[in-house]
Amino acid sequence: MDNATTPTAVIRPFRIDIAQTDLDDLADRLARTRLPQPAPSDDWDSGTPNGYLAEAVARWRDGFDWRAAEARMNEFAHFTTEIDGQTIHFVHVRSPHAGATPLLLAHTYPGSFVDYLDMIAPLVDPVAHGGRAEDAFDVVVPDAPGFGFSQPVAEAGWTTARVAAAYDTLMRRLGYDSYGIHGSDNGAMVARELGLIDPAGFLGLHVLQLFSFPSGDPAEFERLKPQDHAALEHMQWFQSVGAYNTMNAARPQTIAAALSDSPVGHSRTPSCSTRSATARRWSRSMRSSPRSASPGSPTPRPG
């Protein structure tokens, strides 16, 4: 556990309170949305269809209450602290039950602590939700550097391994000598890195996806079953439509200018089009396999 007298070890309360001027600016930008020319078929094969996008923008503009969402987020205790030169925002909720197991929840990409809002109450107080006190958890939900309120990023080099090390520091700083982690998507990769680090007292990891890519050794394919090959084919397709991944990794500031200036562009890159199309393609690719399988939230943005 870090020395609490060290300035960088200070934990500060945090509350979400987006300025009304920012909300007014967002409403104005949404009202002046200029959609692109639709593709000839206006379907998911070329990206987000204009029909879907127009409906989503209208709901965001006229049917989404940011202040209600903000109040929902503020139902839980928020904090910030500095780790490895980076401000880390996190939610921390202790269970009312003695002996609760400390659990860190690592969010998706793109995502934030909001991914887990509906899970916090049942985890910290299972008795109130029909469960047992011995299954209770103390819950910590951080925003990874560059996501949610853990920004701006102070410096480059925030690999999943570095994020994992920062999360371990966070848990020690909160006084936990032992804990486990759950993660999905990017959070699953962070959880894997924590497993490799295997810090003292680490209880283990639970992930929704276990990412493992072929090294090129033919021997790795000898025991693969038809559904495994189908999954690899799906991943190959996924990479073929993941241009945003390449842009974000290679020239993030270039795409950042467009996304920061356009709330609609930000909301559609990459979550909606990728998730809908991915589910459809996965379903098609797995129908011919002996067994079926299923594929494994964006940074909070005012509405």
Q: Say if 263 falls within a structural domain.
A: yes
Indicate the pLDDT class of residue 174, thresholds 50, 70 and 90: very high
Same domain, 92 and 200: yes
Q: Distance of CA 128 to CAs 95, 97, 116, 136, Å?
A: 11, 11, 18, 11
pLDDT, mean of residues 110-116: 94
Same domain, 195 and 232: no
Q: Say if 67 falls within a structural domain.
A: no
Instruction: Provide the pLDDT for residue 247.
Output: 80
Same domain, 165 and 95: yes
Indicate the pLDDT class of residue 269, thresholds 50, 70 and 90: low
Domain that holds residue 166: 7-14+74-207
Tokens representing 189 are: 């990769």
Q: Say if 198 falls within a structural domain.
A: yes
Instruction: Provide the pLDDT for residue 302.
Output: 55
Q: Please tell me the least confidently modeled range out of 65-69, 133-137, 221-225.
A: 221-225
Burial-class residue 153 by CB neighbours within 10 Å (0-12, 13-18, 19+): middle
Instruction: Provide the pLDDT for residue 2.
Output: 39
The 8 Å CB, 24+ separation contacts for 202-210 are 202/178, 203/101, 203/178, 203/179, 204/180, 205/180, 205/181, 206/180, 206/181, 206/182, 207/182, 207/183, 208/183, 208/184, 208/296, 209/184, 209/185, 209/296
Q: Please tell me the least confidently modeled range out of 48-52, 120-124, 282-286.
A: 282-286
pLDDT at 35 over 60: yes
pLDDT, mean of residues 6-14: 82
Q: Please tell me the least confidently modeled range out of 76-80, 87-91, 208-212, 299-303.
A: 299-303
% pLDDT > 70, the chain: 86
CATH number for the domain that contains residue 101: 3.40.50.1820
pLDDT at 1 over 60: no
Last residue of one domain, picked from the residues 149, 173, 207 = 207
Same domain, 174 and 254: no
pLDDT at 216 over 90: no
Look up residue 192 and give its amino acid: R
pLDDT at 301 over 80: no
Q: Say if 63 falls within a structural domain.
A: no
Q: What is the pLDDT of residues 223-264, one digit of tens each?
A: 889 998 898 888 888 778 777 778 877 888 888 888 888 998
Indicate the pLDDT class of residue 63, thresholds 50, 70 and 90: very high
Give the total number of structural domains in the chain: 2
Indicate the pLDDT class of residue 7, thresholds 50, 70 and 90: low
Instruction: Provide the pLDDT for residue 213.
Output: 73
Of residues 1 and 169, more confidence is placed in 169
pLDDT at 275 over 50: no
Same domain, 164 and 281: no
pLDDT at 24 over 90: yes
